[in-house]
Amino acid sequence: MKRKFMAVLLSAALVMSSTAVAFAEDVEGVAASQDVTVNGNVTSAGVIVEGPVTVDVTGNVTNNGSSSGMPDGVNAQVGATVTVGGDVTSDTGTGVVASEGSTVIVEGNVTSSGTGVEAEGAGTIVVEGTITGEDDAVLYTFSEAPSSDDVQILAYKVEGTVSQRTDQGGEQYSDKSDASDLINYIIKKTSEFIGYRSGITSLTVNGTDYDTAKENDVVVVTVGEGYRVSAGTIAVTKNADGTYTLTVPKGGGVTLTAEQIQEAVKETEQQAEQPATQPSFNPEQVAALLKALNALQPAANEPIKEETASNSNPNATASSVVVVPPVYVTADPATIGETAYVAGVTASIANAPYGGTVKLTTGDAAFINRSIIDALETRSDVTLEISVLYGGVPYLIHIPAGFKLRELLGSNGKIDMNKLISMFGVQL
């Protein structure tokens, strides 16, 4: 049976109780000044709570303010604590408000047709999902100069603006300004093999520890032996010491994943980490080597000569010094379309000279798909180098000839640029 509205100690006309109240079913709204537990959803009138009490909702909180008359999805005041196990949605006002030392924790997303979340007067808000607001996604309201000890907001991801203002009294506020540098983004990880070297601040709210970082912070990540780190579409760079580095983007949304490195990939990465060595010969050794090689020439016994290879004549003579010109191609799927991009890359691979290198200049929407892998497998002598500006950072990706790429294809039939960078990329 759904309760039309549940109010505890809201007016003198109601029965007063000093014990906690629990409901094992959905309720339409909660207005409380004592502890309340709802083992279900708040379906239409949101939650408003005042005083040093606790309200726990295991499901979602919805405020249909246009019909219920309630202004916010969750409004916690004067030291209250509210925990929501699902999402908070409000079609009016603000999704979540925490003020006067109150704390609100939402394990899902917060969505509002007004402001997503607002914290003021030493209020703390934690949103483990995404905050979305048609006005501001996040709003800090300060009683005086901004202080990180005054108002605290933690969120996994923010879609919308992050603003701040000052309460000047009498419902008067200063003009809003950008506050992107204030929000603490929750950094998630999917594996116990992942740790942090630097760039992470651990914050504890209501007994729960959160790994956080601010926009543009550089995070250095450690990972167990035999694993590599990826972060979805966010660029991750492997460092020489085996750690990985990423920069927290605007809006956050960082989830770190540890992927087990297959043996072939691991061997390639280890080889790439070895410093390049060049053989050293003195002039006498060079002269002796050339003399020995010239002795291997056919009957004509012509001196060693430079010869340009072609894909139809891969090995001119055993003693030829082969100069293989690279093939340059510029193709960006975001500009010319995926079909033209794939056609340009595959044609360049097919027509490259034997043992040659295709040097591709492209954008961050680039990828490798089955058609490109087919071309590389047919021409297993060809190396592919990709120059890309990814997330505003230049990278060089070196894919050695003959490398087995097919096993890296994602469910969409592609290997995206982030994975290519994490495996083969070097930041320039």
Question: For residue 359, which amino acid is it?
Answer: K
Name the domain boundary from 260, 290, 314.
260
Residues 92-118, buried b or exposed e (16+ Cβ, 10 A)?
bbbbbbbbebbbbbbebbbbbbbbbbb
Residue 142 in any domain: the answer is yes
- The range of the structural domain enclosing residue 224 comes to 188-260
Residue 351 in any domain: the answer is yes
Residue 306 in any domain: the answer is no
Measured between alpha carbons, how far is 146 from 177 in angstroms, rounded to an integer?
12
Given a contact cutoff of 8 angstroms between Cβ atoms, the answer to whether 76 and 98 are in contact is yes
**Tell me, what's the pLDDT at 339?**
87
**Tell me, what's the pLDDT at 412?**
85
The DSSP code sequence of 142-209 is ESSS--TTT-EEEEEEEES-EEEEEEEETTEEPPPEE-TTT-EEEPEES-TTEEEEES-EEEEETTEE
Residue 397 in any domain: the answer is yes
Do 30 and 84 belong together in one domain?
yes
Do 331 and 347 belong together in one domain?
yes
Residues of the chain with pLDDT under 50: 1-18, 148, 263-266, 275-282, 286, 289-290, 293-310, 312-321
Total domains in the fold of the chain: 3
Do 214 and 337 belong together in one domain?
no
Show Cβ contacts of residue 35 under 8 Å, excluding neighbours closer than 6 positions: 20, 21, 53, 54, 55
Give the H or E element holding residue 350: helix 338-350
Do 223 and 98 belong together in one domain?
no
Name the domain boundary from 129, 149, 182.
182
**Tell me, what's the pLDDT at 11?**
32
Do 152 and 201 belong together in one domain?
no
Q: Output the furthest CA–CA distance in the chain (Å, rounded).
A: 115
**Tell me, what's the pLDDT at 122?**
86
Residue 292 in any domain: the answer is no
Do 239 and 165 belong together in one domain?
no
**Tell me, what's the pLDDT at 332?**
86
Residue 213 in any domain: the answer is yes
Do 97 and 242 belong together in one domain?
no
**153 HSE (CA, 13 A, CB side):** 33
**Tell me, what's the pLDDT at 417?**
86
